[in-house]
Protein backbone atom coordinates (compact mmCIF):
# COMPACT_ATOMS: atom_id res chain seq x y z
CA UNK A 1 0.00 0.00 0.00
CA UNK A 2 2.98 2.28 0.38
CA UNK A 3 1.81 3.21 3.82
CA UNK A 4 5.24 2.91 5.30
CA UNK A 5 7.80 3.77 2.67
CA UNK A 6 10.60 3.50 5.19
CA UNK A 7 9.50 0.03 6.12
CA UNK A 8 9.45 -0.86 2.45
CA UNK A 9 13.02 0.22 2.17
CA UNK A 10 13.92 -1.93 5.12
CA UNK A 11 12.06 -4.91 3.81
CA UNK A 12 14.04 -4.72 0.63
CA UNK A 13 17.12 -5.32 2.72
CA UNK A 14 15.81 -8.37 4.46
CA UNK A 15 16.56 -11.89 3.42
CA UNK A 16 14.45 -14.77 4.52
CA UNK A 17 15.90 -18.12 5.40
CA UNK A 18 14.33 -20.82 3.28
CA UNK A 19 14.57 -23.26 6.12
CA UNK A 20 13.45 -21.51 9.28
CA UNK A 21 11.95 -18.38 7.73
CA UNK A 22 13.89 -16.13 10.00
CA UNK A 23 14.87 -12.73 8.82
CA UNK A 24 18.46 -11.96 8.03
CA UNK A 25 20.27 -8.94 6.84
CA UNK A 26 20.93 -8.60 3.20
CA UNK A 27 24.42 -9.69 2.29
CA UNK A 28 24.82 -12.37 4.92
CA UNK A 29 26.02 -15.66 3.56
CA UNK A 30 23.95 -17.81 5.82
CA UNK A 31 21.13 -17.71 8.28
CA UNK A 32 22.15 -16.36 11.63
CA UNK A 33 19.75 -18.64 13.37
CA UNK A 34 20.13 -22.05 11.80
CA UNK A 35 23.11 -21.52 9.55
CA UNK A 36 21.25 -22.49 6.42
CA UNK A 37 22.91 -21.14 3.34
CA UNK A 38 19.94 -20.58 1.13
CA UNK A 39 18.25 -17.29 1.70
CA UNK A 40 15.83 -15.50 -0.48
CA UNK A 41 15.36 -11.76 -0.69
CA UNK A 42 12.16 -10.43 0.75
CA UNK A 43 11.12 -7.68 -1.52
CA UNK A 44 8.08 -7.17 -3.64
CA UNK A 45 6.07 -10.02 -2.32
CA UNK A 46 4.76 -7.84 0.47
CA UNK A 47 3.91 -4.65 -1.27
CA UNK A 48 1.58 -5.59 -4.05
CA UNK A 49 2.29 -2.57 -6.10
CA UNK A 50 1.02 -2.36 -9.60
Residues that bind Zn ion (CB under 5 A): 17, 19-20, 22, 31, 33-34, 36
CB of 38 to Zn ion, least distance (A): 9
Contacts of 45 (CB under 8 A, 6+ apart): none
Contact between 16 and 28 under an 8 Å Cβ cutoff? The reply is no
CB of 44 to Zn ion, least distance (A): 22
Comparing CA positions, the residue from 8, 13, 47, 43 lying closest to residue 28 is 13
CB of 33 to Zn ion, least distance (A): 5
Identity of the residue, 4 or 28, whose beta carbon is nearer to Zn ion in the bound complex: 28
Amino acid sequence: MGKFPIADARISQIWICKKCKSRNKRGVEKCRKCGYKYLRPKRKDIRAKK
